[in-house]
Amino acid sequence: MPETPKKNEFAEQAEEVTVEADPRNTSSESFPVIGLGGSAGSFLSFEKFFSKMPTDSGMSFVVIMHLDPNYRSHLDEVFQRFTGMPVSEAVDGVVIEPNKVYLIPRNKDMGIHNRRLLLMPASKNKGVRQPIDFFLQSLADDQWGKGAGVIFSGMGSDGETGIRMLKEKLGVTLVQDPMTAEYDSMPRAAIGTGLVDFVLAPEEMPNTLIRYMNHPALALDSDQERFAMQTGNAVQKVLMLLRSYTGNDFAQYKMSTITRRIDRRIAYYQLKDYDSYVDLLNENPQEIKTLFNELLIGVTKFFRDEEAFDRLKLKVYNLLKNKSADDPIRVWIAGCSTGEEAYSIAMIIMECQDQEPNHIQRKIQIYATDLDQDALEYARAGVYHSNIAAYVSPERLKRFFTKRGNEYIVNKHMREMIVFAQQNIIKDAPFIRLDLVCCRNMLIYFTAELQKRIIPLFYYALNPGGLLLMGPAETIGGFTDMFLSVDHKWKLFERIKGNVQVTRLADFPFNVAPVPLPENKIDKKAPMLNPVKSANDFFNQVLIEHLAPAAILVDRKGTILFTNGKTDELLSFPSGQATMNIHKMIREELRYPIDYCISQTLADEKNVAVRDVKLKGEKSNQLINLRAVRVEQEGMQDSVLLIFEKLMAPVKRGARIKAATADESSRVSELERELLFTRQRLNNTIEQMESSMEELKSTNEELQSTNEELQSTNEESLTTKEEMQSLNEELMTINVQYQSKAEELTRLNNDMKNLLDVTEIGTIFLDNNLIILRYTPQVKKLFNLISTDVGRPIMHVVDNFEQSLKEDDIREVIEKLTIKEIDMSTYDKEWYRVRIMPYRTSDNFISGAVITFTLITDFKLMQSQLNTLKEYADAMAEQFTQAMCRLDRSLSVTYANRAFFNFFEVLRTDVLGKPLPAFLRQRWQTDAATDTLNKCISTGMPQEAAILIPGRDKEIIIRSRLFDAELKSDISLMLFTIDDETISQP
């Protein structure tokens, strides 16, 4: 339900009234004021906004940013590059003007009052600064519909509460599209309120703002001009559509509230009048829901008007002191909106219980109701943005909330003591037997007639001495006989004890069917007399029976509880169903006097006497004095003792007839007295019937309230059941996904195990601290490992290598992200190739190392044999007189025999490792040898050529032969020989 924000923090406390006031400046100098908030990444957004905003828009702009308090800001210079409007840093008390930009100074909070910017020291007394919220709240109070809030890129949720306040006060709200924001936390938090009018890119906002603010529905200054737009019965048609679609009749809401909300929607769609809006509602039912939500905008926050809650807490503590430990604490929050107020009151009640000397923990029952189902769902979830830290103390956050990311979640214990339910206070029965009713800033939207119906309902709902907390702009009106003012400023009232006149109570809402009253609600107590048991009591009883006059003890309904003396002359059993009611058993002559005595005694709480009552007998008449005495004994306060005293001896019938004939006046007096008794009995009967009717009505109302309470609890239970079912379905879905993942992991684990078993590669997995995480069975041949070694450092385990693995090698791999290979032999003369690699996670993080051990004993044996053969071949080549050399694939010399060096008269270092073609070209001044080598490579066939070299008369024969035609080996590929008869013997 709608709720009014607290008074401007910069204004004096004004006289509270029950009417809604719109403080918008309607003078010719009226102009819109735009509050723009941004944080991280918002400079580009401001630039795009102001680059598209005309310099003569007629609007004033106030920029609020999160600034570093330790460094001087140069925002004015930066912003001046964005716009042609004058830009200046705000100074305390400056009056804003249109077509100008004002910037918040660093380390300051800034508000606005009467279009005057006011600076205050930055406050962080509750942990989180919210300068954007601070300004937008004051802007809402000061400018109402002439105020606009714009939220740009930023981190956190600053601006969320300010958006709520502006929307309640008819302001317009714009938020940057999160897709265009560098940091989208602030835009998303504002959008999450459901109260944002436009979600746009920054460059699209200026045109939208200008069109909206200049629309006639908002620009008109007088109600007469505004009503000119309300053609015909358009407003009534809107109300009719609202009632048809939502089931709620807004006819008793203040018309000014409704029309101003409609004006906003007309400006939003840029329509010309109310008839156009009615057409839109007929074509678009979704707009009906939107208007319905606009009318129900309930803006609240935790501990709103903190001083009011401090005063309430003191009164609640005093109230608890007068309650027994078994009495529950019952509270009704009418118009709870999104739940902040309900949770705030729950917190202070629990704190009050903690402060009691005996720490009594009574059951707390809080019923929080509202018309807005969406707001109730939000309240039930109990999840709020981190900006509540600005209003809730760190101690309360720690005790009553759980932090999750950028959110605070209400703890389960506090959540379960509150029932959130949908209720229409106008037509649904109220809750009863309450200790506190909180209805803040809702009645101001109702007409005076409706307020006069609601206030008595609160009186009916509260226990005597119960508390009523209203908004600072509300009052109880003329119902001072129902409520006593406890705090005039914060509108805290106490229900007066006792009952008011029936005519003062309003018509009770009859919207639910009555239900049977539970047995435990029915008072089954009745006064009982203890039997006479002792001898002394028996003696007294006999004495009373013989000496005391006849007496009968009855309750307020006439039921006979006890008799004494001879009452057989007074009482008789009527025919039919047995009864012990004196009104049916007493003699006819005494019926009227007894009715009179009982009713008067109970009503006036004093004794009553009737003299000279005549009893007719068969032979004579008897005069009796009748006295009624109210019983004061505890437990019998509603009982009456009737005493019958005989006055004189019986008068003979004949004598009485003669006396009556002689004295007619005596007969007249007797008839008059009988007539008086008859009238009194009739009056008593009427009063009893009226009282019974009131009791029946009260009982019926209580039954309806009980039914409403049960319906609310049932609704909460159904909602909880639905949430649990939904959560269960989600858990089942997640469980299926987990099962699928588990099966997939099992398959992968099996695949990996079989792969490692087949390859017979030993593997050890280590973390960053070289702790063993797991290993394959093959590793046990190389390390003395057992299953309990998992979790131990690898360097603590004894291995079977001749030279142990070095810790530095493993750490180097982890730190430098390299791969290291080492050939190591065991004591059994088996060779393994040890490969150390970084362990990379799926998201490319290094979380350890993987070491593999591959058996290469056969490879080492083959390599040894090859080396032996190579040495043998080289030894044989040294004995040849023929010059020869061995070449690799790049035709570089890898080996040359002694005859080769002698032929060229060079040293080994001049030839080995160098390209042979270049060497021969330099020596022989010809490419013939190179051509022979290339041809051998290209054809794969042995080549031979005779060439004449400088300094020789005879040709020499050169031969080349390729030993690897596919060029796949890194070993020497080609044998090159020179035949020359002049080569000397070795």
Pairing relation of β-strands 33-38 and 147-151?
Answer: parallel
- Tokens at residue 396, please? 């309360």
Mark whether 158 is an active-site residue: yes
DSSP for 421-459, written as a single string: EE--TTTSPPP-SEEEEEE-S-GGGB-HHHHHHHHHHHH
Query: Does residue 462 contact residue 481 with C-beta atoms inside 8 Å?
Result: no
CA 739 – CA 137 distance, rounded (Å) = 51
Count the Cβ atoms, other than its own, within 10 Å of residue 557.
Answer: 11
CA 837 – CA 761 distance, rounded (Å) = 14
Q: Side-chain half-sphere of 223: how many Cα atoms within 13 Å?
A: 6
- Tokens at residue 8, please? 């401007």
Q: Which residues of 834-860 are buried (b: 16+ CB within 10 A; e: fewer)?
A: bbbbbbeeeeeeeebbbbbbbbbeeeb
Query: Does residue 204 contact residue 177 with C-beta atoms inside 8 Å?
Result: no
- Tokens at residue 965, please? 């035609």
DSSP for 829-886, written as a single string: S-EEEEEEEEEE-TTS-EEEEEEEEEE-HHHHHHHHHHHHHHHHHHHHHHH-SSEEEE
CA 965 – CA 370 distance, rounded (Å) = 91
Query: Across the chain, how many H-helices and E-strands are there?
Result: 28, 35
Give kind and range of the element (H or E) at residue 484. strand 483-487
Q: Which residues of 891-928 are buried (b: 16+ CB within 10 A; e: fewer)?
A: bbbebbbebbbebbeeeeeebeeeebbebbeebbeeeb
Total count of residues recorded for the chain: 986
Task: Choose, from 42, 45, 60, 66, the residue flagged as catalytic.
Answer: 66
**245 CB burial (10 A radius; 0-12, 13-18, 19+):** middle
Rounded to 10°, the helix 43-52/205-213 angle is 50
For residue 972, what is the DSSP state? -
Query: Does residue 143 contact residue 24 with C-beta atoms inside 8 Å?
Result: yes
DSSP for 757-818, written as a single string: HHHT-EEEEE-TT-BEEEE-GGGGGTB---GGGTTSBGGGS-B-BSSPPPHHHHHHHHHHT-
Q: Which residues of 952-975 are buried (b: 16+ CB within 10 A; e: fewer)?
A: eeeebebbbebeeeeeeeeebbbb
Task: Choose, from 109, 133, 141, 158, the residue flagged as catalytic.
Answer: 158
Most distant pair of Cα atoms in the chain: their distance: 200
- Tokens at residue 475, please? 């009052």
Strands, E assignment, 5-139: 33-38, 60-65, 87-89, 101-103, 108-113, 116-121
Alpha helices for 231-273 (secondary structure H): 234-246, 255-269
- Tokens at residue 121, please? 């020291």
Pairing relation of β-strands 87-89 and 883-887?
Answer: unpaired
Q: What share of the chain is helix, strand, coil (3-state, %, to 5)?
A: 40, 20, 35
Q: How far is CA 513 from CA 429, 676, 692, 714, 735, in A?
A: 10, 44, 21, 15, 45
- Tokens at residue 735, please? 């469980």
Query: Does residue 38 contact residue 154 with C-beta atoms inside 8 Å?
Result: yes
Catalytic residues: 39, 66, 158
